[in-house]
A and B are shown apart, each in its own frame.
Chain A
Amino acid sequence: MDHAATTALRPEVLDSMLPYFGSEFGNASSVYGWGRRARQALDSARDTVSGLLGASSDEIIFTSGGSEGANLAIKGVAWANQNRGKHIITSAIEHHAVLDSVLWLEKQGFEITILPVDAEGQVAPAQVAEALRPDTILVSIMHANNEVGTIQPISEIGAIVREHGAFFHTDAVQTAGVLGMSVQELNVDLLSLSAHKFYGPKGVGALYLRKGVRLNPLIHGGAQEKRRRAGTENVAGIVGLAKALELAQEEREEENARLIALRDRLIEGLMRIPSTKVNGSLVQRLPNNVNVCFEFIEGESMLLNLDLRGVAASSGSACTSGSLDPSHVLLAMGLTHEIAHGSLRLTLGRDNTEADVDYVLQEVPMIVERLRAMSPLYQG
């Protein structure tokens, strides 16, 4: 139950990719038959993706994934537009691909505003409006948060940013294939996504770049992707991305309804455990996201116990964040360090059933009870 981390490649997607690992191994830049066929596959994938986003095909840049997409969007727009200003706005709960890119730009002389979020992890459009300055060139706010699943008012923020004349990027890594992806409705100038989050392959992503937005490449050395991203194209990966996104968008309404029912069953069951708190919004929430904090226990020990029972999950505890501090998202939402260490994230997906949910609901209370009995913070 860790589908926000990654998902299994769908068999249909694998089938669509296989020819490009085998007989159709051509370089899309070559003029002969193999090259032309690879080019056709790329063009067709690009048309599919741009169609699903409501964009035109020359507005799609294929990348190596979500992190490259965010880096390219932020650094690329900042470098190419610094003559217009050097101010960038983002939020405190962004993925590190966005936050660290912005912080790196700060070291290069850009000025950064990091907006706070409310207790449910939402960015207020009014705060974006207040933070905009004449020299603001870029605003980057994620479509939905990867840890707590809070969906941001992207369309509303986008309208404010556009009115002001700055560019707007959204990190849609958690929402591609889940929410509506029309770049017109979202009012975005840039949107990044990653295939492995929607049952596509790892190592491939896409960046939507609205026509007319200037962008410097991160990778130089070839004419690929209209000189915005050099390097021989990952044809198989790109074909897989397009197939996976197509399937996900086709099935999303039905699948979302199923996941929401499972999600709510899971949240309701977990909330029966005493001293437990749900993190994030109960309304503006991704269909597959459950995130709770159990007081008096630490997340990693919970994950190890769940793993021993065959359940894959994730936590915002320091041990799992790879630093001494727990999740920057939970802290930004106002949780104390103590509480944030006890967070558990379960993210549902295609292969999860009601039986899986019930199994987790049977195991988690026992694990929590066992760890609490061991905790010096817990007074029975």
Chain B
Amino acid sequence: MYSDKVMDHFTNPRNVGEIADADGIGEVGNARCGDIMKLWIKVDGDVITDVKFKTFGCGAAIATSSVITEMAIGKTVAEAERITNQEVAEELHGLPSVKMHCSNLAAEALMAAIEDYRKKSDKTSAS
């Protein structure tokens, strides 16, 4: 039911872990429905230089988390912000339809991390 690319990202997830001095952290989902994604980003200028993730969830949840780290690294914050859940699914050559809603949260996690980064940098520039 999963594409080869989903299975590749599931079996060899990229960029697993945490960033100790992250510029933004985003967390979405909840344990009740069985998916939690947490994403750490590092930003240099306005370019995302590093992304790491930790995910509690099914195969699709882990694969989408992994692939979005690859999609986001090297993009500007503004570019990364435009990545949609749909694009994440396409990058993985599709997801089973039942997974599109419950386990396709990676773009939202990235968005949350970017929002957190913006809040933090606003504070920094204000002070």
| Chain A residues proximal to chain B, CB less than 8 Å | 296-301, 304, 308, 317-319, 322, 324, 326, 337-338, 341, 373-377
Contacts and interface: CB of A to CB of B under 8 A. Distances in A.
Interface of B: 2, 7, 10-11, 13, 16, 27, 31-38, 54-59, 61-62, 98-99, 102-103
A324 B10 CA distance: 21
Contact of B36 (A300, A308, A322, A377): A377
Given A298-B58, A301-B59, A376 B38 contact: yes
Contact of A377 (B33, B56, B62, B102): B56
A338 to B, nearest CB: 4
B31 A300 contact: no
Contacts of B98: 322
Contact of B102 (A304, A308, A318): A318
Interface of chain B, helix or strand or loop or mixed? mixed
A374 to B, nearest CB: 5
Contacts of B57: 298, 301
Contact of B56 (A296, A324, A326): A296
B62 A374 contact: yes
Contact of B34 (A298, A308, A322): A298
Contacts of B99: 319
Contact of B103 (A297, A319, A338): A319
A308 B10 CA distance: 11
Contacts of A337: 31-34
Contacts, number: 63
Contacts of A318: 33-34, 102
B54 A319 contact: no
A299 B103 CA distance: 13
Contacts of A322: 98
Most buried by B among A296, A301, A326: A301
A338 B30 CA distance: 9
Contact of A319 (B13, B56, B58): B58
B69 to A, nearest CB: 12
